[in-house]
Structure 1
Amino acid sequence: MTAPATTRDVGAWTTVLLALLAAGPILVLSFGAADDGGVAVSAWALLLGAVWFTGGGIVLAIRRQVDRDDSPPRPARHRVLTSLLAGAALATASLVGGLVLSSWPATAPLVAAPLAAAASQPVALLLAVAFVTGAAEEVFFRLAFPTLLRGWWRWIVPTVLYAIVTLCSGTPALALMAAVLGVVAMWTLDRTRWWPAPIIVHAVWTVAMIGIFPVLVGR
């Protein structure tokens, strides 16, 4: 016997709310730990990833009882290529935007916090942690949370809340980028009907912003 739909919905929404409330302070502590060294930054980031993975997993487990998408995915080659191209386009736009912001004295402080966090630990470690955390974000905000909504609200509500939570990093530019990332990742998911798609988009973007961007700006 399964719980009534109303009870399941309450449980799913409660999980989303608790995850969002927990994530904000963790993100603040993560970026604030840059002066304490890479281990502290990575530890907070992994804790944040655990929040997203756990919350998303619970919501998916609940919604799986009532929501089943039996539509076939796109052909494998198409969905992989679409995911990679979407990630590459997003990464290119982000690199250009980041370079423009960092080149102007008035806007350079907007990207200072992410660069400081990147400089606090080895790139390989940072990339590994970012891949895990990024995948967790996609599980929560693209695969799980939207199942509670319908129509365009599936795009709007998770993306707006994703940007608001990211704003806790103290970096408005990163929050804006989170909104763009959310839209691109959600578009790719809907286009391919393939759950790894948004994770691939996020991974490509991560490589560009953590592995390439600091090199381009000389950090």
Structure 2
Amino acid sequence: MTADLTTFAQRLTAPAPHTTLDDPGALRRRRIVVAVFVVIGAIILGFSLSAEPGAASFVPMTIGLAAAWLIGGFLSGPIRLGRFGWRRPEPAIPFVAQPSSAVGAAALGVGVGLAVGAAFVVGALITREIGPLASLVREVLAFRDEGGVVLITAITLGNGLAEEIFFRGAVYSAVQRHQPLVWSTLLYALVTLASGNVMLGFAAIVLGSVCAVLRRATDGVLAPICTHVIWGAIILFCLPPIFGT
């Protein structure tokens, strides 16, 4: 059991075996596309979350934001799903040869999403007792009722998927040779701060770091997508009762 846990930890904290790298031409294209759509996305995000709750522009702009991340992600070049192996190899088999699959990556992402979501719920119970921080969280949660629960749920989870395709897909690959975990997370946090809400920026740093680790460990976006979507659902349905919104 201890050996299995050790192997799992090593696998999770190391780059995926046979990680794919872009050739120079593809890398140049990816960086240009990323630069353009980072600016577009930051502008849309700034306007959408700086609007007053109830503004007619909120839903169209958040849908437009998801579309921008998706278009930018796929225009930048190939977006890989990734893979992750769960079984510990036999002693005679090199560590990198252990079986891996997209199913393993998805299961990993779901498990991490549940853990991160639970951590945020615990953090919310503490934050609600700190007036200024609680107010910032309530500002974000005020948008939960825009257009109905079904629509806002679809928008929230859809944006989570789109963000992962762009930031852990396109952006991560664009800086893959230069500390991609650090730079993809930093850029994600900076773009999120365009909303003007520091609590969203903090959440972006935590979630972005976790998803970047998953991207590195699986060489793809499937695990980060699963984590982001599960986390988003937990935040959407668990935090409003905590903050009384």
TM-score of the superposed pair, with normalisation by structure 1 = 0.84
Matched, 1:60 2:77: yes
Q: Which residue among 124, 132, 152 is the counterpart of 1:106?
A: 132
Match of 1:14 in 2: 32
Matched, 1:25 2:51: no
Do the aligned partners of residues 21 and 75 (structure 1) sit closer, same or farther apart at CA in structure 2, a change above 3 Å counting?
closer
Do the aligned partners of residues 131 and 14 (structure 1) sit closer, same or farther apart at CA in structure 2, a change above 3 Å counting?
same
Which whole-Å CA distance do the structure 1 matches of 2:118 and 2:41 have between them?
28
Q: Which residue among 229, 236, 240 is the counterpart of 1:210?
A: 236
Deviation sequence 1:79-128 (CA, Å, 0-9, x none): 33321110011111112222322222232222132112124342221110
Which whole-Å CA distance do the structure 2 matches of 1:34 and 1:136 have between them?
24
Match of 1:88 in 2: 114
Which whole-Å CA distance do the structure 2 matches of 1:106 and 1:31 have between them?
18
Gaps of 5+ in 1: none
Cα deviation for residue 6 of structure 1 reads 5.1
- Name the Cα RMSD after superposition: 2.6
Do the aligned partners of residues 92 and 12 (structure 1) sit closer, same or farther apart at CA in structure 2, a change above 3 Å counting?
same
Matches within 5 A, 1:1-219: 7-37=25-55, 40-61=57-78, 74-75=100-101, 78-150=104-176, 153-219=179-245
Cα deviation for residue 9 of structure 1 reads 3.4
Match of 2:89 in 1: none
Q: Using the aligned pairs only, state the percent identity.
A: 28
Name the structure where helix makes up a greater proportion of residues.
Answer: 1
Which whole-Å CA distance do the structure 2 matches of 1:73 and 1:149 have between them?
28
Which whole-Å CA distance do the structure 1 matches of 2:32 and 2:176 have between them?
18
Larger Rg: 2
- Paired residues, number: 209
The answer to whether the Cα contact below 8 Å between 2:160 and 2:228 also exists between their aligned partners in 1 is: yes
The answer to whether the Cα contact below 8 Å between 1:74 and 1:193 also exists between their aligned partners in 2 is: no
TM-score of the superposed pair, with normalisation by structure 2 = 0.76
Which residue type is aligned with residue 107 of structure 1?
L
The answer to whether the Cα contact below 8 Å between 2:169 and 2:220 also exists between their aligned partners in 1 is: no
